[in-house]
Amino acid sequence: MAIITTNDIEEERLVYLEDDKENKDVSPGSFSFHEALHTTYVLFETFNRQIVEHPAIYNDKELFEESVEIRNKMFFLYQELGRKQLVEENKEEIKETENK
């Protein structure tokens, strides 16, 4: 398996940014952001049910550990998207609380 560096990941991200000519609103609170949140959840659930819980996976310790690691990263991504969405939706309340 090839080693992927932080630099490789950033280069890939920059290619996506360059190819994104629409410049649509993708910030937390936008429909596009909610779409990413929802899709992440659907894929997380599907991956867990169809891969992690598959007998061919859980009967092999190495495959199971790898699949659980991937599932956990997907869950963290979902949680982080959700956190950013909630902060955006509640930023006025957060400001009021901080000013007290």
C-alpha distances (whole Å) from 68 to each of 43, 48, 49, 62 are: 14, 8, 11, 10
pLDDT band at 75 (very low <50, low <70, confident <90, very high): very high
- The predicted model scores a pTM of 0.80
Residue whose C-alpha is closest to residue 40's, from 95, 87, 85, 81: 81
Q: If you count them, how many residues does the chain have?
A: 100
Query: For residue range 13-71, what is the model confidence (pLDDT) as tens digits?
Result: 999 888 887 767 889 999 999 999 999 999 999 999 999 999 999 999 999 999 999 99
Q: Do 44 and 68 touch, CB atoms closer than 8 A?
A: no
